[in-house]
Structures are given as C-alpha cells and as structure tokens.
C-alpha cells in the first residue's frame, strides 16, 4: 500500500518545527556568524572590563635615565604609576628626574644590570620604599655599529652582558615580587634586529636574538605564576640614541647612515608613540609586540622569504664603505654633515628632550 504521508524525520524538521526548508537552510548559514560575533562581543566586553591599568602600580625601568626608558617613565608617571629608575650613572638619573612630573613618586636606583648583587640591592630599596613591585621593564641597552671584521669577541660579550644577562638578572630579582599579586608584568624591550639580521649590527643583533629567545620562554613559563611577559620588537625610534651609540669601521659614514635611518620620519617613529604602543601591548598582556604596523609587515615578509631577505640585506651591506678600525667612538664625539643634521632635526630635538647629550 503506497505511503501518502511524508517521512517522520521530515515532519520533525520542517512542519513540526514551523520552519520551512528554505528558511532552515538560511539559518544554518547565518548561525555560525551570529555565534562568532557573539563570542567576539563577549571577549571584547571581558577585555574592556578587565583592562590592566598602570595607575597606582609600582614600575621598575632599567635604562631609565635617558632615551626610550625615560620616555616610558614620563608616560607611566602621567598615568599615575610610581617609578624606580635603574641606570649606571647617578648624575644622569638626577637629570632625568627633573624631566618627570615633580608630583610623581620616583626612586633613583644607580646600578649596573650586569651585576647581580647591584640589581638585587636596587629591588630591596624599591620594596623598602613602596612595599611592592608590579611591573618590570627591561630597557637597558647598548648599540655598536661596525663591520663584522671589526667586531671583536669583547664586543659580542659586552652586548650579551647588557641585553641577555641584564634582562635575566633583573627578571629573576623581580619575579618573586611580581608573582606575589598574581597579575605582574615583565616587558622586555628587544628589537626588530632579533628577527631581521641588520648589516653592521652583528653584536647587537646576536644579543637581541638571545634576549628575545629568553623573553619568549619566560612568556610561556611565567604565565602559570600570574606574570605576563611581553616581548617588544620595535623598529627604529627617534630617541636621540645615535649620540650614545658606538661606531667602528668607517666611523663617520657609519654614524651618518645610522643617524639618517634612525632619525628620518619615513624610516622611524617618535619615541613617544613607541612608548604608548609598548604600554598598550603590556596592558593587554600580549606575548609578542612588533611595532609599528609597517615593521610588523616587513618582519612577516622576512619570515616568509628568508633567502630573498638575506640577498637584499647583503646588497645593502655592499653600499657601506669599508673602513678598518678596532677602536670604537661614541656618536656624540663625531660630526654629522650639515645636510644630515637638517634631515634628522627631529632626532636632534629628541636627544635634547631625552637626556642623551
């Protein structure tokens, strides 16, 4: 006997539910999008509600007497943080303090980050004064621009001492205090030189690769202790650092090229913008922050096309005149051509602002 009734399954899925087949198909297509948008909305709401703020936080900054470290200190002070500034030169620290809002609480900590005992003493001083430490920013650094042939084993060691061992010493000294409150932050200021091998910066890049590797491992392991670690890989910044950097080889040319690349608006960003981006990444608890956007895209291209990147950088290296000298000279003792000074005027003004002279 023929069956004049539709199958039971069809009844339950169409007529019984009150949904026509065409409408049911449309719902199936739209549902994933609705769910995804809902999840994004919930995530955004939770992130906004739980946004980390630096107000009333106690922050230790290494290399805090000049350059990016000082710019970060001023930005944090404007957000209501209390500060501990570590640097080797007590006179530089005193000058730096005068550029920070006088109402901010600032502890000056003369110490060498490569000396574990001095670092531990600095943290003890901070605890005695403030009773807690919430954030540590490893910013202390050095730059040597020199051909590989003129870069000595001692140069490599000096860079590793500051960037790798300094970061390790400071992070270990701060970790017990950061973990105590379950929401600590470590910010490691590395460099895009930890992703892209830059000609004539061999010792610098090697030390930054080591620092970034250490930072990435810390980000994985310290999360379970309630400490978020952010590895920052910035491009060139107008901090006035060309005056404090060291140069070998054809020193005048090395200095001029470094100043041009680091001081021209098209190839560098302001230190103030960099500081804001760094603190925003730290507040979000990002594990990795390549800034600005253009540098992030360059890093992605370099990762996708490593052989082409090496070839292009080798051609750039070929444009730099050779010069042999194993004695380094600091930028503030070298003269820039008048035309270069004109192009890099913004960086010269940044040097005045940021205690680099």
Distance CA 66, CA 9 (A): 74
Distance CA 216, CA 270 (A): 26
**Residue 287: how many other CB atoms lie within 10 Å:** 16
The pair phi, psi for residue 70, each rounded to 5°, is -70, -40
**Vertex 71 angle, CA 208 and 105, to 5°:** 115
- Site of tokens 């800034």: 291
> Which residues lie closer than 8 Å to 175 by C-beta, 6 or more apart?
184, 222, 225, 227
Distance CA 240, CA 227 (A): 32
**Residue 317: how many other CB atoms lie within 10 Å:** 13
**Residue 145: how many other CB atoms lie within 10 Å:** 27
Which of the following is catalytic: 48, 52, 204, 209? 204
Question: Is 48 one of the catalytic residues?
Answer: no
By annotation, the residues acting in catalysis are: 204
């Amino acid at each position: 006997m023929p069956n004049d009734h539709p199958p039971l399954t069809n009844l339950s899925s169409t007529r019984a539910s009150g949904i026509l087949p065409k409408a049911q198909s449309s719902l199936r297509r739209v549902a994933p999008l609705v769910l995804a948008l809902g999840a994004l909305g919930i995530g955004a709401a939770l992130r906004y509600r739980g946004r980390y703020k630096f107000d009333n936080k106690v922050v230790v900054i290494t290399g805090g007497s000049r350059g990016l470290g000082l710019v970060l200190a001023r930005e944090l002070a404007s957000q209501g943080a209390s500060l501990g500034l570590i640097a080797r030169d007590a006179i530089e620290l005193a000058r730096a303090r005068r550029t920070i809002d006088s109402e901010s609480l600032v502890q000056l900590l003369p110490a060498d980050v490569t000396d574990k005992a001095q670092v531990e003493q600095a943290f003890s001083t901070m605890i005695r004064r403030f009773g807690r430490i919430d954030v540590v920013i490893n910013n202390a650094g050095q730059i040597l621009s020199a051909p590989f042939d003129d870069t000595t084993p001692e140069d490599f060691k000096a860079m590793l001492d500051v960037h790798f061992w300094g970061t390790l010493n400071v992070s270990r000294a701060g970790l017990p205090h950061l973990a105590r409150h379950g929401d600590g932050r470590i910010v490691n200021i590395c460099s895009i030189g930890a992703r892209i091998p830059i000609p004539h910066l061999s010792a610098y890049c090697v030390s930054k690769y080591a620092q970034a590797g250490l930072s990435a491992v810390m980000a994985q392991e310290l999360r379970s202790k309630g400490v978020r670690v952010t590895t920052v890989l910035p491009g060139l910044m107008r901090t006035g650092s060309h005056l404090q950097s060291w140069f070998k080889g054809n020193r005048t040319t090395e200095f001029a090229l470094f100043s041009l690349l680091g001081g021209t608006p098209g190839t560098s960003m302001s230190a103030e913008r960099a500081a804001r981006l760094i603190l925003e990444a730290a507040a979000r608890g990002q594990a990795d922050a390549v800034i600005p956007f253009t540098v992030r895209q360059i890093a992605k291209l370099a990762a996708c096309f490593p052989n082409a990147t090496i070839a292009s950088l080798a051609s750039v290296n070929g444009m730099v005149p050779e010069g042999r000298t194993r004695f380094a000279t600091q930028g503030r003792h070298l003269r820039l051509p008048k035309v270069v000074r004109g192009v890099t005027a913004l960086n010269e003004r940044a040097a005045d602002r940021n205690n680099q002279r």
